Amino acid sequence: MKKILLTLMLLIGSICFASEMDGDEIFDIKQNAFALYNTNHINEAYTLLEKIPLEKRDYETLIILANIEEDNNQINKAIKTLKFAVQKNPEMYKAYYNLGCIYMKRKIYSFASENFELAIKYNKKNPYLFYNLGCAELSIGDFNKAKKNFIKAIYLKNDEKDFYYNLAYANKKLNKEKEAKKIIDFYNKTFVK
pLDDT in tens, 149-159: 999 999 999 99
Res 14: pLDDT? 46
Res 5: pLDDT? 38
Q: Which are the contacts of 141, defined by CB distance < 8 A and separation ≥ 6?
A: none
The radius of gyration computed from the CA coordinates of the chain, to the nearest angstrom, equals: 22
Amino acid at 143: F
pLDDT tens-place string over residues 16-36: 444 477 889 999 999 999 999
99-193 is classed in which CATH architecture?
Alpha Horseshoe (1.25)
DSSP assignment letter at 92 = -
Res 11: pLDDT? 47
Rounded Cα–Cα distance for residues 193 and 178 (Å): 23
Rounded Cα–Cα distance for residues 134 and 156 (Å): 14
- How many angstroms separate the Cα of 145 from the Cα of each of 35, 156, 174? 40, 17, 11
Res 20: pLDDT? 72
Res 143: pLDDT? 98
Res 21: pLDDT? 78
Name the stretches of the chain with pLDDT < 50.
1-2, 5-11, 13-19
103 with 139: CB under 8 angstroms?
Answer: no
Res 17: pLDDT? 46
187 with 165: CB under 8 angstroms?
Answer: yes
Q: Which of 152, 172, 167, 164 is nearest to 192 (CA)?
A: 164
Res 7: pLDDT? 44
Res 174: pLDDT? 97
pLDDT tens-place string over residues 65-80: 999 999 999 999 999 9
Domain ranges of the chain: 22-90, 99-193
List, in sequence order, the alpha helices (H) in 23-160. Answer: 23-38, 42-49, 59-71, 75-88, 93-105, 109-122, 127-140, 143-156
Same topology, domains 22-90 and 99-193? Answer is yes
Q: Does the structural domain 22-90 have CATH classification 1.25.40?
A: yes
Res 150: pLDDT? 98
Rounded Cα–Cα distance for residues 189 and 152 (Å): 21
